[in-house]
Amino acid sequence: MPGTDDIVTRAWEAGTLAPAFNVPYLPMVEPVVRATADLDCFCLIETARLEWVKFEAGGPRAVMDEFLKWNDPVHVRIHLDHVPVIDEDGLRVDYLAIIKEAIDLGYQSVMVDGSRLDLEGNIAATRQAVEVAHAAGIPCEAELGAVLGHAAGPLPPYEVLFASGRGFTDVEEAGRFVRETGCDWLSVAVGNVHGAISGALKDRQKVTARLDLDHLDRLRRAARAPLVLHGGSGVQRDAMLAAVSKGIAKVNVGTDIRQPYEQALRASGSVAAAQAAVYERTCRLIQDYFGLVGSAGLLNAEPAK
């Protein structure tokens, strides 16, 4: 069976993608896995540090334990999402310890986020994480640029952000970053934003984001590695599909399935109803938004010898 890196590389080469669903609440794991299997899609189940600090995921071990109850290797793998070197509140994080813990638990890919450091610091921190991941035989994702939205407080108007290119990944830095760190997948910023995670803002409808596709195409040519789009919820569908043709091989989805879970749970008090909402939304994303029904066969094909 191919490794996770083989699967994402196959998506990149084939001009398709592997969606990655964040699970800030443990009961979300089962309906995401079920929806993915029912539609014969492939996805990553992922947890970021903020999802056990700001929400109720419980930590890498808790998510892994839940994942193993429903594991279906043909359709799902487990990924450690954002482990920041400096977190959303400006605090230093023992990122290598978290990554090592996840690897020991059996995570099949990991991500280090040094995007709040300067370029040299990000390269150094990422290189350390890559060495740890590669020693364990798994891929490491990294981020260059700033995918905004997770910090406390509201963002400036989206059109102001987009027009200014604030946080966009630098094209010249991208090639150097991939070469010097050895990262397998690169998360880039091209107009995508994270969903808010603080206070009442986390319940608001996410902004409809556009993507600078020309900038993304330049990044594709500079990085020469699978690119990742964080903040996938709310991106215009035509922009998303065009982005896949320009090097995006993995798309992270969080808000789009978190909010239905929270809303259904508040309205009904029933975890089962909340899970049903996640299942329905995940199915709609796979079928109607991404158009990935039946993708598991392609992505699980053994790499050519």
Which of 5, 38, 81, 238 is the catalytic position?
81
The Cα–Cα gap between 250 and 35 comes to 18
What's the 3-state SS for the chain? CCCHHHHHHHHHHHCCCEEEEECCEHHHHHHHHHHHHHCCCCEEEEECHHHHHCCECCCHHHHHHHHHHHCCCCCEEEEEEEEECECCCCCECCHHHHHHHHHHHCCCEEEEECCCCCHHHHHHHHHHHHHHHHHCCCCEEEECCCCCCCCCCCCCCHHHHHHHCCCCCCHHHHHHHHHHHCCCEEEECCCCCCCCCCHHHHHCCCCCECCCHHHHHHHHHHHCCCEEECCCCCECHHHHHHHHCCCEEEEEECHHHHHHHHHHHHHHCCHHHHHHHHHHHHHHHHHHHHCCCCCHHHHCCCCCC
Q: Is 81 a catalytic residue?
A: yes
| Enzyme catalytic residues | 81
